Homo-oligomer: A and B are copies of this chain.
């Protein structure tokens, strides 16, 4: 404990984390427990931070189920009997203590982890390398807590693949137009002078949802999956929507199945279909002719792997997004999320219940510690 005394007085003696040692496909919540432990610290290098908020992402749940291809190493570092990992991959933290010679961070900074698998469902965390943290000062809690996955995914999808022309009639087409990522895509694209054709499922209040996407988020045009799949629409109506000299070089797919074929058909020759999700559970389905005669390329995007290979792209994306949010150019995802508040002094059982409830509830769930 000698070393520990060098930390500020606001660093508690014990941390509390939501951990797991095994997996369950049937009930992901069953593998979770709350664990208290005295963290191992290295005062020369450790950044200590308290957790402000973390989302419960589908990938976090898939990790608990044991079906996600990226996973944290389970260790005995937390003093558990069996090797364990802290759940969660995303979250925003407030710096409580920095190593003596650390210049890039200071106490009070808000940070998010650069890499996945750091474990975020915890009241405090220790980060052993300040360069594995990205500063997000100036954002609201919900934005900061979710910018590292949804925000970065949207930003990289828009900016990392197409060399957009300035002043051209450039479009991107995307399905799942109401999803969190799609809404950020829409806004990021608009800022870059790229128009969006957003496809959403048919629904009774289609006009109202479309109007919100267009007015609040800046979608250029919202169409339904029926229209997306309608060849007459594609031939006769779509050109009037796109206008003269339109270029459609990028399609973003997070649905699969017929929806993926239909957005791919709207692309010009030699264009790119980027898949980053598969909500319909149907495979990406591409008419052979699109590949052979229209030169279509189909690829995937996974923010975890992208960051592992090119971490600077994520840093750049976060920095760009922070500036856009601070400048009021992007809308906070707060309205799109369900907030689960936790008192840091809540019992272990209460903390666990909040998280289990979040896992089992629909919508984008964010857990916020009320420090």
Assess whether B298 is in contact with A292, with CB atoms less than 8 Å apart. Answer: no
Q: Given A261-B283, A283-B261, decide whether A292 and B300 contact each other with a Cβ distance below 8 A.
A: yes
A157 to B278, CA, bound (A): 30
Scan residues 268-294 of chain A and give those whose CB is less than 8 A from a CB of chain B.
275-278, 283-294
A302 to B72, CA, bound (A): 43
Assess whether A288 is in contact with B302, with CB atoms less than 8 Å apart. Answer: no
Contacts of A287 in B (CB 8 A): 283-284
Check: A12 CB closer than 8 A to any chain B CB.
no
Q: Given A283-B286, A288-B283, decide whether A298 and B297 contact each other with a Cβ distance below 8 A.
A: yes
Check: A27 CB closer than 8 A to any chain B CB.
no
A277 to B289, CA, bound (A): 8
Assess whether A288 is in contact with B278, with CB atoms less than 8 Å apart. Answer: yes
Assess whether B288 is in contact with A256, with CB atoms less than 8 Å apart. Answer: yes
By beta carbon, the residue of chain B nearest A258 is B283
Assess whether A288 is in contact with B275, with CB atoms less than 8 Å apart. Answer: yes
Instruction: Give chain B nearest CB distance to A299 CB in angstroms.
Output: 5
Assess whether B292 is in contact with A275, with CB atoms less than 8 Å apart. Answer: yes
Assess whether A297 is in contact with B295, with CB atoms less than 8 Å apart. Answer: no
Check: A199 CB closer than 8 A to any chain B CB.
no
**Chain A interface bracket (under 10, 10 to 19, 20 to 34, 35 or more):** 20 to 34
Check: A296 CB closer than 8 A to any chain B CB.
yes
* Of listed A287, A288, A301, A305, residue having the most chain B CB within 10 A: A288
Instruction: Give chain B nearest CB distance to A264 CB in angstroms.
Output: 10
A293 to B297, CA, bound (A): 17
Contacts of A298 in B (CB 8 A): 286, 291, 297-299
Assess whether B300 is in contact with A299, with CB atoms less than 8 Å apart. Answer: no
Contacts of A327 in B (CB 8 A): none
A290 to B299, CA, bound (A): 9
Check: A69 CB closer than 8 A to any chain B CB.
yes
Scan residues 139-182 of chain A and give those whose CB is less than 8 A from a CB of chain B.
none
Contacts of A285 in B (CB 8 A): 283-286
Q: Given A297-B299, A298-B297, decide whether A277 and B288 contact each other with a Cβ distance below 8 A.
A: yes
Contacts of A286 in B (CB 8 A): 283-286, 298
| Residues of A bordering B, CB below 8 Å | 69, 256, 261, 275-278, 283-302, 305
Ordered by A's residue number, 6 sampled pairs between the chains whose C-beta atoms are within 8 Å are: A69-B289, A69-B293, A277-B292, A278-B289, A291-B298, A293-B302
